[in-house]
Structure 1
């Protein structure tokens, strides 16, 4: 992203969630705040050659939020939620549990912009929300959270949606190790991109064109994993259980058309760690 400016990918992801509310049927992810927070929002002209967002890509963005929030609601232990790279995510403002603290971690410029968007949309910020400005280029989530009252001994659910591909492999795995090695039980849901070579040949041109477009926007994809690779990396980081969810899994789980094409091979991981203070 450009210094001092909010992330363009945060803008496009937010627009995708808003469009999903009215353009896709069935709707798999309900977010009544998606339209208010994006109302009047313009991201500016896209670089020449940037492909339009296909409906299937927009659907994947909705699916990753649905999978993540379903897992979060099913988690009986979590007392904290950490949204890494929060962008214009609205969970904290739809959350009905005032005892669940929500830490939003993001680049300072994006976070300032988000707070302006919330104010302009008339969306109140609950007392349970904690903003944690972090520039991942020179600071870790662990260091940033340590300054804003995060309790490492409380069971915590982490969300890393639409962010992992933009992080270097080392930064992503350092973050995973931090989450897995906390004293209390933790869970994390993240989505990731597979390398071009892992995709069927007929899917590769569209994937390559999207990767090139992101690079031209100044937010290039930096990390790629195959399912066996990320499973091994997360197990090595300290997670006890790793569930990898693909496109067809999502279509079956939410009773969607099984013939919908998987354009880019994005996948979603739900990983759990027992906590370093094991009995």
Structure 2
């Protein structure tokens, strides 16, 4: 993040969600607000997507949202009524929230939040009652304090969507954030992370390297990768006692109905639940 500027990778992720609605017909993840909140010329965005030819990234972004919102539906069934979108960017869940009585807190850098507010106003997307934006710098501030000040009830279960953020944070910030989430009773989180490239094919390693160069040029470099074992250890130490981690093979077979060895990079999606009585 460049000081005072909204996240450029947040815009890129939003563009991928919108293009997915068109080029794949929203087959993996439906987002009826994706194009409206993007606020860009549809044909220009589609032309750039076709020229870039990165369907694997677009599909992974769609997969992580579908996975997160599927697990969210189950959490709501269990009684969760608080949703926190960490690093909200141009995420639209709060504005198409189908669950009566569920409140949504969006947490992000103040500059990104201000940019999103402008986009919502220009697109004519109303902000539902029970939605709050919380400005926070994950590397330097305790987002839980900011949440409580905004009306979050720390003693009640909450579901955290933390998508497209972990790969850009320091290890310390990731561990601290997960510790703060895992310290809440009955908390759940869905996140995505990049696995090491050692187990990837030459083609997938080249694809990852190209992606790393692009985001670094935007001023938002990737900061590292985690093995599934490493991430599981971090989650356990943070207080999560149930962890579901899907790598490429599981994503391809279970969510995309494709062969397990289909090329697709090293992205993982994880769902973790903490005990109702942590610590």
Match status 1:270 vs 2:271: yes
TM-score (norm 1): 0.91
**Residues 137 and 179 of structure 1, relative CA distance in 2, 3 Å threshold:** closer
How many corresponding residue pairs? 269
Secondary structure of residue in 2 paired with 1:32: coil
Q: How does 1:198-237 map to 2 (within 5 A)?
A: 198-237=199-238
Distance across 2 between alignment mates of 1:204 and 1:277: 39
Question: Which residue in the other structure is 1:12 paired with?
Answer: 12
Stretches of structure 1 lacking an aligned partner (at least 5 in a row): 43-50
Ranges of 4+ aligned residues in structure 1 off by more than 4 Å: none
The aligned residue for residue 74 of structure 2 is 74
Which one of the candidate residues 163, 166, 179 is aligned to 1:161? 163
Please say which of residues 251-260 and 71-80 is displaced more in the overlay: 251-260
Identify unmatched segments of 5+ residues in structure 2.
Answer: 43-50
Counting only pairs closer than 5 Å after superposition, residues 114-263 of structure 1 correspond to structure 2 as 114-182=116-184, 184-258=185-259, 261-263=262-264
Give secondary structure in 1 for the equivalent of 2:68.
helix
Distance 1:87 1:2 in 2: 15
The DSSP-based 3-state class of the residue aligned with 1:271 is strand
Q: State the Cα deviation string for residues 145-196 of structure 1 (Å, max 9, x = none).
A: 13211111111000100111011111011111111111x2011000000123
CA change 1:6–1:260 in 2 (3 A) is farther
TM-score normalised per structure 2 = 0.91
How far apart in 1 are the matches of 2:143 and 2:199?
30
Please say if residues 245 and 267 of structure 1, whose CA atoms lie closer than 8 Å, have aligned partners that are also in contact. Answer: yes
SS at match of 2:156: coil
Larger helix percent: 2
Counterparts of 2:15 and 2:168 in 1: how far apart (Å)? 19
Written as runs of structure 1 = structure 2, the 5 A alignment for 1:53-72 is 54-72=54-72
Counterparts of 1:260 and 1:68, CA distance in 2? 23
What is the deviation of 1:215?
1.3
For the residue of structure 2 that corresponds to 1:111, the secondary structure is helix
SS at structure 1 position matched to 2:2:
coil
What is the distance in 1 between the residues matched to 2:20 and 2:204?
23
Structure 1: how far apart are the matches of 2:168 and 2:55? Answer: 22
After the TM superposition, which of the residue ranges 126-135 and 20-29 deviates more from structure 2? 20-29
Shift of 1:19: 0.4
Deviation of the 1:25 alpha carbon = 5.2
Counterpart CA distance in 1 for 2:221 and 2:69 is 27
The structural deviation recorded for 1:275 is: 3.1
The Cα RMSD (Å) is 1.9
Gap change, CA 1:255 and 1:110, over 3 Å in 2:
closer
Q: CA deviation at 1:262?
A: 3.2
